[in-house]
Amino acid sequence: MRRRIPEVGALCQSVRRPAVMIGLGLALAAPAGGWMVVNGSGSGAAAPAERSADADPASRTEAGASAAASAAADTRADRDAADAPADPAVASAWREKALERERKEVAKRFAKEFGISESLATAIHEAAIEADIEPRIAFGLVRTESSFRRTAVSSAGAVGYTQLLPSTARWMEPGTTRSQLFDTRTNLRIGFKYLRYLLDKYDGNVRLALTAYNRGPGTVDRLLKRGRNPENGYATKVLSRRG
């Protein structure tokens, strides 16, 4: 048509050039990720940023994951800020509840590991924290002493979970009776209190403290004074992850 009627061809050419220029101008002004105006042939094309992502699927995935992580972090931060109480007293109680939930989760893991009830694991864990005893040492001691049996009594007369002699219990807490040592919390509290005393006595030496728990501090002190090693394998058994 343009070959036969030059005027029509010239008119089409004059209209097409401004349209292309307008399209290019809009494409440059559009934000990343927007649409480019169609080219002269009428087909659609992605913006440069989208073409780059399409050409590299890994980059697209990483960018999406980064955006999702950023959004999640912002959401958590907003939630934490909204949840945190402004009043100091309320904030303290709020933190205590969070610690309590965490301790319960720890007790559950110990219950599963040692094959005991959650209630007993919670009692051991709480008593250990109260006495400033590392929980795993506390669990190892109870396992070694009584195999987690509340009513265990040795031939020497040691009683309960931590196998306390009534005389030792009365020394730690005057007035304690033998029958009271069959109470779970009483036995654990006094037993771990005694271990805490031994840890302090031996300057935090866990192995010496545990050996003294088993053999008695008098025996350990005499052997140390003679330059001998008082260990008898008891500490190793308590600290072992296996019964």
Active site residues: 145
* CA separation for the pair 210, 124 (Å, rounded): 17
Q: Cα separation of 164 and 198, whole Å?
A: 14
- Picking from 190, 153, 188, 156, the residue whose alpha carbon sits closest to that of residue 175 is 190
Radius of gyration of the chain (CA): 38
